Amino acid sequence: MEFRITHRSKDCRARTGEIELPSGDFETPVFMPVGTKGSVKAVSPEDLGEAGVRIILANTYHLYLRPGHRIIGRLGGLHRFMNWSGPILTDSGGFQVYSLTPLRTISEKGVTFQSHIDGSRHFIGPEEAIDIQETLGADIIMAFDECVPYPSDYDYVRRSVELTTSWARRSLDRKRRSDQALFGIVQGGMYADLRETSARELVKMAFDGYALGGLSVGEDRATRLRVISETVDFLPQDKPVYLMGVGTPEDLIEAVILGVDMFDCVMPTRNARNGTLFTTTGKMSIRNATYAEDGRPVDENCDCYTCSNYSRAYLRHLFMAREILSYRLNTIHNLSYYSRLMADLRTAVQEDRLFEYCTKFYGLQEKGIG
């Protein structure tokens, strides 16, 4: 992997860059849609490309359980399996294991857990997580980590940071493939000193990039932004910074200002399936009766496939009738919105007018849906 910074903001820590990977290149800041089980829900790879998507995320835990990483490996790897030729990032499975609180046991070796599918017992440690991800064949893979719940007491989080640091070192030692980039994950809960400790220890190991994990787990926005700002201070400026699982448009903008380069979140796709669409002037609930006879596109400033061909009235009809096409058209629009948001942010950073852009963005959002 090669990461080049193309411009640094004169006013804040925002920057633009380019990442080169075996499966393709993309510009940063970038948003990655979540394809948990090897598919971004409701859309095809062709839809993703037309929506401006350049890299997607897939989930190690889910693909390990079903259909199984070895099957995917025998069939040529994840790119071929899902017919996506662009870059893929796989997470380590740590967050999903964290979510299985009643079904898992954590030790220094790793995590023993029960499958949420059939109750079968499994073990994943740092070595297993790397082996699985190498078999899947993603361009960027993640070190195994523990995501602590919020809130957690200081002593528990301190021990967790020690464990995550040990697991990161073992993940790095296990890695064999030279064509995959490996990112370390900074943990530490909401404690500034533990975040600093985690970041400093990971930087000593010289990962290809660094992720901020353990956020968007129930903390308020001000706390989250504080943790991001404090943590980025301790990360190398020549490596990409990835904020995991955080994804409102406002969150993305604020994190870009703080120096974050990469994002993933289920928000645009999940909201689409629930009938919530992102627009230049705010969020739209397409189920609202006011759109029943509205012949306008969702967003007059959007040229995506959905906005170019369908009215609000039709999209409302599809959603209320529970037609499957509703999921696809809504998802295409939301992903196009996120792609355009990131492109606009990149341009604003490059032209040193990021704060001017932010003022305009928030002004339009306050205006509301017309």
Return the ∠ at Cα 364 (arms to 362 and 369), rounded to 5°.
Answer: 125
Which tokens go with 216?
A: 């968007």
H/E segment holding residue 87: none
Beta bridge pairs of residue 33:
265
Tokens 């220890």 belong to residue? 201
CA distances 286 to 143, 193, 245, 250, Å, are 40, 44, 25, 21
Do residues 88 and 138 make contact, with C-beta atoms less than 8 angstroms apart? yes
Q: Which of 61, 63, 104 is nearest to 112 (CA)?
A: 104
Beta bridge pairs of residue 353:
none
Do residues 155 and 194 make contact, with C-beta atoms less than 8 angstroms apart? no
Q: Which of 54, 68, 61 is nearest to 142 (CA)?
A: 61
The yes-or-no answer on residue 91 being catalytic is yes
Return the ∠ at Cα 362 (arms to 217 and 11), rounded to 5°.
Answer: 85
Specify the 3-state DSSP secondary structure of 137: coil
Pick the catalytic residue: 47, 91, 261, 299? 91
Specify the 3-state DSSP secondary structure of 312: helix
Beta bridge pairs of residue 265:
33
The yes-or-no answer on residue 11 being catalytic is no
Q: Across the chain, where does the E strand assignment appear? A: 2-8, 15-21, 24-28, 30-35, 56-59, 88-91, 104-106, 111-114, 121-124, 140-142, 181-186, 209-212, 241-243, 262-265, 276-279, 282-285
Specify the 3-state DSSP secondary structure of 226: helix
Q: How far apart are CA 81 and CA 95, in angstroms?
A: 24
Pick the catalytic residue: 139, 145, 251, 264? 264
Q: How far apart are CA 47 and CA 109, in angstroms?
A: 41
Active site residue ranges: 91, 264
